[in-house]
Structure 1
Amino acid sequence: MLKQPLGRLRVIGFLEGMSYLILLFIAMPMKYLADYAMAVTITGGLHGLLFVLFIVAVGHVAIVNRWSVKQIIGALIASVIPFGTFVLDKRLKESHSREG
């Protein structure tokens, strides 16, 4: 799975999506309800790294698979919506199984 650009995108998308949910639903409440800002510092840094990797992976897949601008924008929008990368992953898996 990690040998192909699409497989890497799916894995990075999953990790980025999980880090986003952890940041929103665990780390942020810990910061504001329990006065534990370190949760956001750690999770936010990790999420930032995964977000950048996701953007690079989208770019790589877009070049290799000749994605349209609409597909690229859709993937990037999915990365900023909670649960969006999981919806994207399902669509990528479906489209890949139709092609293969």
Structure 2
Amino acid sequence: MDIKTASALHRLRLVSVPEALSFPALLIFGSLLSRISDINLVMPLGALHGLLFVLYVLFLLDVWNKAKWPLKKVALFLLLAVVPFGGLYGDKILKRDEADSVIAARARREEAAA
């Protein structure tokens, strides 16, 4: 893997945790708030959740292209995006993959310089 792959993994990690927390935290909070008061935040919070999900899918497709992931792994990450708090587990996997790709890129750079 190269540094572009590590960057793509990092971008996916940056959006995976907020996306994982946006459904339970934002939408459930907004639904409860609209039921107990006159404040209706479901639409704007739903739009924020939708934006995070779209970013997650776009960044996942970028990682799939750059890291050459198998389709099963991409499908797993799509499933984790749908399951509440699933992105937290996905972030754990991404963190390991990102660290491995950075180490590999540095090793190739040092090897080329020698």
Aligned partner of 1:8 in structure 2 is 11
Q: TM-score, normalised by structure 1?
A: 0.84
Distance 2:36 2:70 in 1: 43
User: Would you say 1:46 and 2:48 are equivalent positions?
Assistant: yes
Are the equivalent residues in 2 in contact too, given 1:28–1:40 (CA < 8 A)? yes
Larger Cα Rg: Structure 1 or Structure 2? 2
Structure 1 unaligned blocks of 5 or more:
none
More helix per residue? 2
Matched AA of 1:42: P
Shift, 1:35, TM fit: 4.7
Distance 1:88 1:35 in 2: 36
SS of residue in 2 equivalent to 1:67:
coil
Q: What is the number of residues matched between the two proteins? A: 97
Q: TM-score, normalised by structure 2?
A: 0.75
Deviations 1:53-74 (A, max 9, x none): 1000000001100011111110
Structure 2 unaligned blocks of 5 or more:
1-5, 104-114
Q: For the aligned residues, what is the CA RMSD?
A: 1.8
Aligned partner of 1:86 in structure 2 is 88
Deviations 1:15-63 (A, max 9, x none): 21222222343112112343532x1111101111111010000000011
Percent identity, aligned pairs only? 32
Aligned partner of 2:107 in structure 1 is none
User: Would you say 1:23 and 2:26 are equivalent positions?
Assistant: yes
